Chain A
Amino acid sequence: AQSVAQPEDQVNVAEGNPLTVKCTYSVSGNPYLFWYVQYPNRGLQFLLKYITGDNLVKGSYGFEAEFNKSQTSFHLKKPSALVSDSALYFCAVRDLGSGTYKYIFGTGTRLKVLA
């Protein structure tokens, strides 16, 4: 069955330091992988996606993510965190091998960037 795991409920990082938010997935076919961010009382905002091609994907607001097929991971990264990056981050997968193509979301990771 398809699944997405975000092993950390919360990640704390000092402003200016690099940040990583982890995501691993399990699918039966080739995955489409996505990262979204949610600010308080807002819907989700699209950050970046991996469909095919280069394993390093660059997205909005300086974020990037690396697709690692052997480790079935798609970790979100940013070289230098900002206080304004503090938000809830969701990883999602579409399993093209399942036949249903449902979006499956992780449980979310709260990122706190400390000034």
Chain B
Amino acid sequence: KAGVTQTPRYLIKTRGQQVTLSCSPISGHRSVSWYQQTPGQGLQFLFEYFSETQRNKGNFPGRFSGRQFSNSRSEMNVSTLELGDSALYLCASSLAPPLAGGLGADTQYFGPGTRLTVL
């Protein structure tokens, strides 16, 4: 079974630009979460989607947005990029969120990440 795929793997942008990252979950998984990983802040939760609905949101500004499509693929968008947005963006998929799919259904499986560099 193919794992979680993320595209692109590497991206270089300049301040003020916007960027869209894509995530394809494991086949059959309907829940997708996004995380930002930086050396200083560690792993920070961005948002979680299930059945095209945002179920959870982390403490990030409105410049960060996401969506999920009917085939469970997800995209996240960052507008008006800042230098501090440089990070590894990780996508994770699971069968379902907690309690919606039974015990353990929400184990998350991560993609390789998209490395975003903002110059």
Interface residues of A, Cβ cutoff 8 Å to B: 32, 34, 36, 41-46, 49, 51-52, 90, 94, 96, 100-108
Contacts and interface: CB of A to CB of B under 8 A. Distances in A.
A45 B56 CA distance: 22
Nearest to B43: A105
Contact of A101 (B97, B107, B110): B97
Interface string B100-115: 0001101111111100
Contacts of B112: 41-43
Contacts of A34: 107-108
B64 interface: no
B108 A101 contact: no
Given A90-B43, A96-B98, A101-B98, A43 B56 contact: no
Given A32-B98, A46-B109, A96-B98, A102 B104 contact: no
A105 B98 contact: no
A102 B109 contact: no
B110 A36 contact: yes
Contact of A49 (B35, B104, B110): B104
B76 to A, nearest CB: 15
B2 interface: no
B33 interface: yes
Contact of B104 (A36, A45, A51, A106): A51
Contacts of A102: 45, 48, 56, 58
Given A51-B103, A94-B98, A103 B113 contact: no
A34 to B, nearest CB: 7
Contact of A43 (B90, B99, B103): B90
A106 B42 contact: yes
Given A101-B56, A106-B42, A94 B110 contact: no
B32 interface: no
Given A42-B112, A96-B99, A100-B56, A105 B107 contact: no
A106 B44 CA distance: 10
B4 interface: yes
